[in-house]
Amino acid sequence: MTSPAADAPGVLPAPAPLVRPGQRIDDFVVEEMLHQGGMATIWGVRRVADDPQEGDHAGCPAVDEDDALPLVMKVPRIQGWDDPAAIVGFEVEQMILPMLQGPHVPRFVARGDFTRMPYIVMERIEGSSLRPRLAAAPLPIDEVIEIGARVAIALHELHRQGLVHLDVKPSNIMFRADGSAVLIDFGLSRHDQLPDLLDEAFGLPLGTSPYMAPEQVRHVRDDPRSDLFALAVMLYHFTTGQRPFGQPDTVRGLRRRLFEDPVPPVRLRPDCPPWLQEVILHGLEVDPVQRLQTGAQMALALRFPAQVALTARAAKGRVDSRWRRLKRRLHSLNEEVPRTRASPAAASRLRRSPIVVAAIDVENAGSGLLEHLRETVRRIVLTEPGARLVCVSVLRSSRLATDSRLDEQGRSRHVRQRVALRHWVRPLLQSLALDEGRVSVHVLEAPEPAAAIIDFAARAQADHIVMGARGASALRRHFGSVSSEVVARANCSVTVVRE
Domain of 253, CATH number, reads 1.10.510.10
Domain end residue (candidates: 279, 303, 334): 334
Cα atoms in the 13 Å half-sphere on the side-chain side of 494: 21
How far is Cα 348 from Cα 331, in angstroms, rounded to an integer?
31
Same domain, 253 and 316: yes
- Structural domain for 27, as ranges: 4-123
- H/E run at residue 465: strand 464-469
Is 436 part of a structural domain of the chain? yes
- Which DSSP letter does residue 270 get? T
Q: What is the dihedral of CA 219, 223, 228, 231, to 10 degrees?
A: 40
Is 328 part of a structural domain of the chain? yes
DSSP characters for 186-227? -TT-EETTS--HHHHH--S--S-GGG--HHHHTT----THHH
DSSP characters for 376-443? HHHHHHHH-TT-EEEEEEEEE--TTS-S-SB-TTS-BHHHHHHHHHHHHHHHHHHHHT--GGGEEEEE
Nearest to residue 377, comparing CAs of 197, 498, 499, 497?
497
Q: Is the dihedral of CA 322, 323, 324, 326 positive or negative?
A: positive
pLDDT of residue 59: 40
Nearest to residue 286, comparing CAs of 196, 223, 349, 363?
223
How far is Cα 486 from Cα 499, in angstroms, rounded to an integer?
17
Nearest to residue 194, comparing CAs of 338, 75, 97?
97
Same domain, 327 and 360: no
pLDDT of residue 50: 60
How far is Cα 263 from Cα 40, in angstroms, rounded to an integer?
36
By DSSP bridging, strand 71-76 and strand 40-50 are antiparallel
Is 434 part of a structural domain of the chain? yes
Q: Which residues contact 53 (CB under 8 A, 6 or more apart)?
A: none
Q: Which amino acid is at 136?
A: A
pLDDT of residue 258: 84
- H/E run at residue 141: helix 141-160
Q: For the domain that residue 102 is a member of, what is the CATH number? A: 3.30.200.20
> Mean pLDDT per segment of 10 residues, for the chain of length 499 residues?
36 54 92 86 87 39 58 82 75 94 96 87 92 94 96 94 95 94 95 86 81 91 94 97 90 84 94 96 93 90 88 86 74 57 41 79 87 90 80 77 64 84 87 72 86 84 85 50 89 87
Same domain, 72 and 216: no
Residues paired with 111 in a beta bridge: 120
Task: Report residue 75: phi and psi, to 5°.
Answer: -125, 125
Is 339 part of a structural domain of the chain? no
Is 35 part of a structural domain of the chain? yes
Contact by Cβ (8 Å): 211, 169 = yes
Number of domains in the chain: 3
Contact by Cβ (8 Å): 376, 497 = yes
Same domain, 324 and 386: no
pLDDT of residue 382: 83
By DSSP bridging, strand 119-123 and strand 493-498 are unpaired
Cα atoms in the 13 Å half-sphere on the side-chain side of 281: 28
Same domain, 306 and 363: no
Domain end residue (candidates: 93, 123, 153): 123
How many Å is the Cα radius of gyration of the chain?
25
> With left for phi above 0 and alpha for psi between -120 and 50, is residue 307 left, alpha or beta?
alpha
Q: For the domain that residue 357 is a member of, what is the CATH number? A: 3.40.50.620
pLDDT of residue 403: 59
